[in-house]
Amino acid sequence: MALMDLQERNERLFYKLLIDNVEELLPVVYTPTVGEACQKYGSIFRRPQGLYISLKEKGRILEVLRNWPEKSIQVIVVTDGERILGLGDLGCQGMGIPVGKLALYTALGGVRPSACLPITIDVGTTNEDLLKDEFYIGLKQRRATGQEYYELLDEFMTAVRQNYGQKVLVQFEDFANHNAFTLLEKYRANHLVFNDDIQGTAAVVLAGLIAALKSVGGTLADHKFLFFGAGEAGTGIAELVALEISRQGKVSVEEARQKIWLVDSKGLVVASRNEILQPFKKRYAHEHEPVKDLLDAVKAIRPTALIGSAGVGRSFTKEVIETMSSINERPIILALSNPTSQSECTAEEAYTWSQGRAIFGSGSPFDPVKYNDKLFVPAQANNAYIFPGFGLGVVISGAVRVTDDMVLAAAEGLADQVTPEHIDKGLIYPPFSIIRKISANISARVAAKAYDLGLASQLPRPKDLVKYAESCMYTPVYRSYR
């Protein structure tokens, strides 16, 4: 709340504070505190920090967009609040997420604050507590679905294009699985869209896996990956890992997918399931006898890496981690669900139960852990490493579309920043303290790919893209008036 006030009162000072103290303040402005702020948003509400577009505005969204005082927008982060972190449907109290993500766009990626627009689309909520809450700030009705929902989103996308042109990046954030994949597929061919939960998370995890394999040995194709959770994050990562395996080994993506297994709420996803699987799961439904839970799936598949993104807290039990550790000398354990309460295990559990052998990363931050007199520093495998730099790369190149190759370039750009010293310390990411440097490098890789693919409209192409990215980054200094 104090930081929200500061952001309102003195934006430059807010960003100066955030940039200079990024490791300390990231967990406040962002995950995990932002999750709690969303849960309590109605009662801590001071001023609308972003733009609300509700079902009632159907037919005049363009007019609503024009009410926003800043006219030159480069990045929009939009949510409909249906899946806020792993906390479920928080309706229009999800606004904390676009606001927090865009604060990072500026602090970590250097996009000007005035060019950032947080938007929440309010189509109601299924959250009974919020519907009964007198302080709930949104529409008190059940969520619109189907045609009514998709028409509103269509009108929104058209209005954005009409008002800001085709070079504004629209980042979808924390939509429920069933809409996230559909919206991305629907708009990616003709609009400049990026889904952070699918593509941003995929890039950060792929980069972490590439770094982790420098300790474990072998290439991606030499290993097996087991995903607990087959939603946006899980299948997004799976697809990007498969793409990278196929590029490295010059094999088909179908063949690469054989290295990847998914576990969902019904157990291992296998070909013999007698239900209609969603297309994004069906690709991973390999031939195997049914396995009903995670522990048995670990025993059956014997993966190198276990990647959790189901939003089910404490699902990596002692037995699961001990089994991973009996299979692998250095088991890779990624507990990606947010916030901390939903994390599949804690850092301490991962290190203790693996007797200090786990390469551990988590979506939410954990403090370093002392085990047997040795200090272990957990990695924060959060898309915050990717989206600010990715967005900056899109902006500076004037890219008109986002492609998988650009997402892959971002992952490689991050992996390149991991030095042998980091690897020696067991780190799979560089520290957040140098995030602006990391973002500039990621942004250069993304921009380079956009230029190579003929998708960049900002011509001529700058010679040194890293330097150029750095020169474009917003820094919070007071102007001299003399």
Ligand X SMILES: O=C([O-])CC(=O)C(=O)O
Sheet containing 305-308, strands listed edge to edge, beginning at the edge strand earlier in sequence: 267-268, 260-264, 225-228, 305-308, 332-335, 359-362, 379-380
Closest separation in Å from C-beta 429 to Mg ion? 18
Taking the least distance from each CB to Mg ion, the nearer of 109 and 331 is: 109
Q: Please tell me whether 173 is known to bind a ligand.
A: yes
Separation CA 394–CA 402 (nearest Å): 8
- List the catalytic residue out of 15, 30, 429, 468: 30
Q: Which of 82, 122, 174, 349 binds ligand X (CB under 6 A)?
A: 174
Q: At what angle do helices 22-29 and 96-107 cross, to 10 degrees?
A: 160
Q: Which residue from 80, 82, 122, 197 is in contact with ligand X, where contact means CB under 6 A?
A: 197
Cα 303 to Cα 301: distance, rounded to the nearest angstrom:
6
Q: Which of 196, 244, 264, 349 binds ligand X (CB under 6 A)?
A: 196
Query: Shortest Cβ distance from residue 393 to ligand X (Å)?
Result: 19
Give Cα separations from 103 to 26, 296, 368, 387, 418 (angstroms): 10, 42, 26, 12, 25
Closest chain position to ligand X (CB): 31
Binding at 82: pick from Mg ion, ligand X, none (beta carbon under 5-8 Å per type): none
In angstroms, what CA-CA distances link 287 with 219, 225, 255, 269, 421?
24, 16, 13, 9, 41
We find the least distance from the C-beta atom of residue 437 to ligand X, in angstroms, to be: 21
What, of ligand X, Mg ion, none, does residue 363 touch, CB below 5 to 8 Å by kind?
ligand X
Interacting partner of 338 out of Mg ion, ligand X, none (Cβ under 5 to 8 A depending on kind): ligand X
Coil/strand/helix, residue 30: coil
d(CA 11, CA 435): 20
The encoded tokens of residue 170 equal 């629209």
Q: Cα(376)–Cα(46) distance, rounded to whole angstroms?
A: 40
**Min dist. Cβ of residue 128 to Mg ion (A):** 23
User: Closer to ligand X at the Cβ: 338 or 439?
Assistant: 338
Residue 21 known to bind ligand? no
Find the binding residues for ligand X in span 3-62 (CB under 6 A). Answer: 31
Say whether residue 80 binds ligand X (CB under 6 A): no
- Helix intervals (H) in 136-288: 146-164, 177-187, 201-216, 232-249, 253-256, 279-282
Instruction: Please give the residue ranges that form the binding site for Mg ion (CB under 5 A).
Output: 173-174, 197
Per-residue contact flags (x/-) with ligand X for residues 358 to 397, judged by CB under 6 A: -----x------------------xx--------------
Is residue 82 part of the contact set for ligand X (CB under 6 A)?
no
Instruction: Report whether 338 belongs to an annotated binding site.
Output: yes
404 annotated ligand-binding residue: no
Per the DSSP assignment, residues forming a β-bridge with 379 are 361
Whether 30 is catalytic is yes
C-alpha–C-alpha distance, residues 38 and 157, integer Å: 25
Per partner kind, with CB cut-offs from 5 to 8 A, the member of ligand X, Mg ion, none near residue 31 is ligand X
Is 149 annotated in the active site? no
Min separation Cβ 470 and ligand X, Å:
26
Q: How far is the CB of 390 from ligand X (least distance, A)?
A: 13
Say which residues have a Cβ less than 8 Å from residue 251's Cβ, sequence separation at least 6.
Answer: 221, 245
Q: Closer to Mg ion at the Cβ: 173 or 264?
A: 173
Catalytic residue among 15, 101, 468, 474: 101
**Contact yes or no for 172/157 (Cβ under 8 A):** no
Total chain residues near ligand X (CB under 6 A) = 9
Which run of H or of E encompasses 194?
strand 193-195
- Minimal distance, residue 236 CB to Mg ion, in Å: 11
Cβ–Cβ < 8 Å for 300, 270: no
Burial profile 323-348: b = 16 or more Cβ within 10 angstroms, e = fewer:
bbbebbebbbbbbbbbbbebbbbbbb
Question: Is 24 within any annotated ligand binding site?
Answer: no
273 is in an annotated binding site: no
Pick the binder of ligand X from 315, 328, 338, 439 (CB under 6 A): 338
Report d(CA 331, CA 381) in Å as an integer: 16
In this structure, the number of other CB atoms found within 10 A of the CB of residue 475 comes to 11
What residues are designated binding site? 83, 173-174, 197, 338, 382
Catalytically annotated residues = 30, 101
What residues are designated binding site for a divalent metal cation? 173-174, 197
Interaction site with ligand X (CB under 6 A): 31, 85, 174, 196-197, 338, 363, 382-383
What residues are designated binding site for (S)-malate? 83, 338, 382
